Amino acid sequence: MEDAIIEDLHTTNSEAHIFFSLKRKPHTCPHCHTVTEKVHDYRLSILKDLPIMSKKTFLHYRKRRYHCPCCNKHFYESFRLLPKHCRITTRLAFYSIHLLRDRQSIRAVAELLGISDSSVFRRMQDVRFPKPSHLPKVLSIDEFRGNAGGQKFQAILTDADKHKLFDILPSRSQVSLMQYLQDFPNKKEVRYFVTDMNKIYRDLASEYFPNATIVVDKFHVIRYVTWALENVRKRVQKLLHPDKRKYFKRSRKLLLTHKYKLNKEGLQALEIMLLHSQDLATAYHLKELFYDFMDSYTRAEAAKKLRFFILAAQASELKEFHACLTMLGNWSKYILNAFDCSYTNGYTEGTNNAIKVIKRNAFGYRNFENFRNRIFLSLT
């Protein structure tokens, strides 16, 4: 506001009111392009501006209307901080977008700046995030429950190498993903495709990324073993006295923690728990074998330990491990690929958690484009 002439200033505990006008100078008529300095009249506009010292700021702008002697038209003087037909300054609009990056709700931003929710929404819609033109070398995919645009689940694509959000898709369906991917010119340049154990994603990668190595994230694999161990624990504790049953439930972390991480007291408590059931002791031993497999350094070492685990799980005849064995039979090739590279779905899962915070703060989004814009504003 270099050209502003401050005429008066009033402040209260919560508000600041600044009265100003601009220096008079020649203006070009927007209709006939004639230069004129003739003032027709003055009008007062009250504008909302950036807060000053946490006070809501109002600008009382005494603006001129110029008269064009050539075409007899009237027009307002130019003021670069105020877009046409707006009562909010440009810098206040930009600041509202900046605050949205902190994952605050739109209502919280609106209340802080003293503007309406719809004003913040309109500013958010002014920011566009177009579809990327080229796929990254390492593409990671996952889904999250967004409930936006009439779809229960949305898909998220990230660059697992550079740890950047790539895009958000309105649906995780195979048709939607195929339509999205088919226009990219560099599909053959994708070297790694990181995913969970979703057959749709695997088939999609096989069709669209012929040169890519499909990698199944380790986190999704280890859950099958911990679920199996937990199911054995639940089966065993149902047969125990109510007091011991509560103790088993409270001490479940002893079973799930890697044995070498337990202290002396933890090892003694674990030994007492395993004495109650041979099935529980066998399930715990299988869990430790699988943890040892996951700690492998090379693919050859991992393949050897995985075969040993499968044989041990088959010999145990525990029904709770049947689902785990079926999963390994279908996905072991892609699981072992994870030991040839350092790429995981860790960044993607972390992004999903951030999206859940954004969604929860807003009490959900019905419009997918607004939801996508909000995610990009907060995470890029």
User: Tokens for 306?
Assistant: 């995985």
Do 207 and 272 fall into the same domain? Answer: no
As for how many domains the chain has, the answer is 3
Tell me, what's the pLDDT at 205? 92
Residue 76's pLDDT is: 86
CA 212 to chain centre: 25
Residues 257, 356: one domain? no
Orientation of helix 346-361 relative to helix 368-379, angle to 10°: 120
Q: Do 290 and 355 reside in the same domain of the chain?
A: no
Average pLDDT over every residue of 154-183 = 92
In a domain, 354, yes or no: yes
Per-residue pLDDT, 234: 87
Q: Are strands 55-67 and 15-22 parallel, antiparallel or unpaired?
A: parallel
**Whole-number pLDDT of residue 137:** 95
Sign for the pseudo-dihedral over CA of 110, 114, 117, 120: negative
Region 199-211: mean pLDDT is 92
Residue 371 counted as domain residue: no
Q: What is the mean pLDDT of residues 87-105?
A: 85
- Report the Cα 184 to chain-centroid distance in Å: 23
Residue 266: inside a domain = yes
Q: Does 236 lie in the same domain as 187?
A: no
Q: What is the mean pLDDT of residues 314-330?
A: 92
56 with 69, same domain: the answer is yes
What Rg, from alpha-carbon coordinates, does the chain have?
Answer: 31
Together in a domain, 44 and 28? yes
Do 180 and 255 lie in a common domain?
no
More confident residue, 256 or 305: 305
Instruction: Judge whether 259 lies within some domain.
Output: yes
Q: Which residue has the tokens 């390994």?
A: 328
Question: What average pLDDT does range 322-335 have in this prediction?
Answer: 92
Same domain, 188 and 263: no
Asked if the structure places residue 95 within a domain, the reply is: no
The whole-number pLDDT of residue 290 equals 93
What pLDDT shows up at residue 241? 78
User: For the residues 127-140, what does the mean pLDDT come to?
Assistant: 91
Q: Is the pLDDT of residue 53 over 90?
A: no
203 and 249 assigned to the same domain = no
Mean pLDDT of 360-377: 87
Among 111-115, 203-207, 336-340, where is mean pLDDT lowest? 111-115
What pLDDT band is residue 282 in, cutting at 50, 70 and 90? very high
Confidence label for 106 from pLDDT (cuts 50, 70 and 90):
confident
Instruction: Give the CATH number, domain containing residue 174.
Output: 3.30.420.10
- Do the domain assignments include residue 374? no
Mean pLDDT computed over 333-346: 90
| Domain annotation covers residue 232 | yes
Sign of the CA dihedral running 166, 171, 177, 178: negative
Answer whether residue 19 shows pLDDT above 90.
yes
Residue 214: which pLDDT band, with cuts at 50, 70 and 90? very high
d(CA 296, CA 306): 10
- For 167, 297, 339, the CA distances from 301, given in Å and listed in that order, are 36, 7, 9
pLDDT at position 170: 93
Q: Is residue 270 part of a domain?
A: yes
Band of pLDDT at residue 78, cut at 50, 70 and 90? confident
Q: How many CB atoms neighbour CB 128 within 10 A?
A: 8
pLDDT (average), residues 362-368: 85
SS3 per residue for the chain: CCCEEEEEEEECCCEEEEEEEECCCCEECCCCCCEECCEEEEEEEEEEEEEECCEEEEEEEEEEEEECCCCCCEEECCCCCCCCCCCECHHHHHHHHHHHCCCCCHHHHHHHHCCCHHHHHHHHHHCCCCCCCCCCCEEEEEEEEEEECCEEEEEEEEECCCCEEEEEECCCCHHHHHHHHCCCCCHHHCCEEEECCCHHHHHHHHHHCCCCEEEECHHHHHHHHHHHHHHHHHHHHCCCCHHHHHHHHHCHHHHHCCHHHCCHHHHHHHHHHHCCCHHHHHHHHHHHHHHHHHCCCCHHHHHHHHHHHHHHHHHHCCHHHHHHHHHHHHHHHHHHHHHHCCCCCHHHHHHHHHHHHHHHHCCCCCCHHHHHHHHHHHHC
Lowest mean pLDDT among 156-165, 174-183, 356-365: 356-365
Is 193 found in the same domain as 49?
no
Question: What is the percentage of the chain residues whose pLDDT exceeds 70?
Answer: 100
Average pLDDT over residues 345-350: 90
Q: Does the pLDDT value for residue 306 go beyond 90?
A: yes
Residue 25: predicted pLDDT: 87
What pLDDT does residue 364 have?
83
Residue labelled with tokens 């949305």? 154
Considering the domain architecture, whether residues 310 and 247 belong to the same structural domain is answered as: yes
Same domain, 56 and 194: no
**80 vs 324, which has greater pLDDT?**
324
- Which residues form the domain of 355? 138-217+345-365
pLDDT for residue 336: 93
Q: Is the pLDDT of residue 157 over 90?
A: yes
